Structure formats: C-alpha cells, structure tokens
Amino acid sequence: MLLPGEVDSLLAVVAHPDDVDFGSAGTIATLTAHGVRVTYCLVTDGDAGGDDRQMSRAEMASLRRKEQTAAAATVGVDNLIFLGHPDGRVEANLALRCDISRVIRQVQPKVVMLQSPDRNYDRIFASHPDHLATGEATMCALYPDARNPFAFPELLEEGLEPWTVEEAWISGHPTMTDVVDVTDKVDIKFDALRCHASQLPDPAAMEVRVRQWMAGVASAHGLPEGRFAEGYRVMRLV
C-alpha cells in the first residue's frame, strides 16, 4: 500500500479536466492533507467535452478550466498548468513530450502520476485515445527526456536543468501493484467530481458507479469490507 508520508512532491499529468478527479481525487486529498506539494498538468482544456451544442468550444474550454480549478481547490491543490493541446486530438509527439518535460523540470517532483499508455480492455473508459497518448508522452518525458540535457536543448536555453523523477504512479493501468486507502476522503472526492457539472448529466449514477469501482479495487487488494481505494502501477525510475 502506498503511504502519503513517503512523498513530498507530486505532479499529476492528465489529458482532460476531471480525469485526475475520477482516478485519483481521494489520493490527492490524502497527500495534500499530509503536506505534500501537488501540481496538476492538464494537456487539454477539455473543449470537446459535454453535450451542449449551443455552447462554443472556446466557452466550453473556459468553463472546464474553471471547473477543474474549483475541483483542485477542493482537494487542496492550487497550482494548475494548462498546456492547451486540442481535446480529442492528443498525439504522443515530440511537441507534447517537450511540453511535459518542461513542466517536470519546472516543478521538480519526486513522483509523477500519469495515465496508462496501455489499453485496459476491462475498463475502456480509462483508455480514451487522449489518455493513452498523454500517458505515452509522459512516460517518454520521464525517461529519457526530462533527465537528458540533450533531449530538448531549448529547455536548457530557458534555464531549465534536467530533473530525474524517482517514481511513476500509473493510474488506470490493467495491472495495479499498489493502492491508496481513500476511505476517509471519499466525500471530498465526490465534492471534487461534482465541480465538473458540465460533464455530469447524472451525478447520482456517477457516484454509484465510482463507489463500486473503488470498493472493488479495495477488495481485490485485501482491504476490509467497507473500505475504498484507488490503484496504481508503481514504477521506480532511479
């Protein structure tokens, strides 16, 4: 089981607003309660989300930034970085790798939380193409890009020295190695999720579904009945 006292700083890199809250809001709330410095990096603004065809995509992007900022505050996070890549068209290309490497060098986290680059056939919602591409680009940024002074020379020109992240926590991976018991933070998690009102046509059904998922993760990893957990594949990078 992952213990929050073993982490001092964490960067979460996700494709869309609300991704980090569905997968990890309980973990984030647990970490910040223990004084961990957490930063969010959002690859897109989520401009392709929602069902309102009368709202312009620029308006949706602005709304989703506001929703994510409010959700982040709910779990104790006030440092958010939006990269502005197009929603629904994320590619694990050199431009995105450079952008994420820049953020890693700026933030200098001990741990990076990321989305799985591996498709999960048992849980398709974790395998949105943007999630897969963001996960792949983040893995490339973790190794070798962010630590390699010659990967993106322009970052050195910006005064950003190489940085080696110690651990990767992969959310949504088909093979979890570790969990965080988030039972005490479940209510906060759903407070954060409800901030994404533009994406939740049925908040009550969402809560039932997410509670079932977290209870299943807890049970599969030996936690007692009535506990909730969020799971990760953890990789040591040093």
Q: Quick one: pLDDT band at residue 4, thresholds 50, 70, 90? A: low
Q: Quick one: pLDDT band at residue 31, thresholds 50, 70, 90? A: very high
CATH classification at residue 68: 3.40.50.10320
Q: Tell which residue, 216, 226, 230, 189, has the closest CA to residue 75.
A: 189
pLDDT tens for residues 38-95? 999 999 999 988 777 888 889 999 999 999 999 999 999 999 999 999 999 999 999 9
Q: Is the pLDDT of residue 33 over 90?
A: yes
- The full 3-state SS of 182-223, as one line of letters, equals CHHHHHHHHHHHHCCHHHCCCHHHHHHHHHHHHHHHHHHCCC
| Number of domains into which the chain is organized | 1
pLDDT tens for residues 120-129? 888 787 789 9
Find residue 229's DSSP bridge partners. Answer: 181
Across the chain, mean pLDDT equals 95
Q: Quick one: pLDDT band at residue 219, thresholds 50, 70, 90? A: very high
Task: Name which residue leads in pLDDT, 6 or 201.
Answer: 201
- What's the pLDDT at 45? 96
Q: What domain range includes position 47?
A: 4-236
Residue 67 tokens, joined: 């929703």
pTM: 0.95
pLDDT tens for residues 54-64? 888 899 999 99
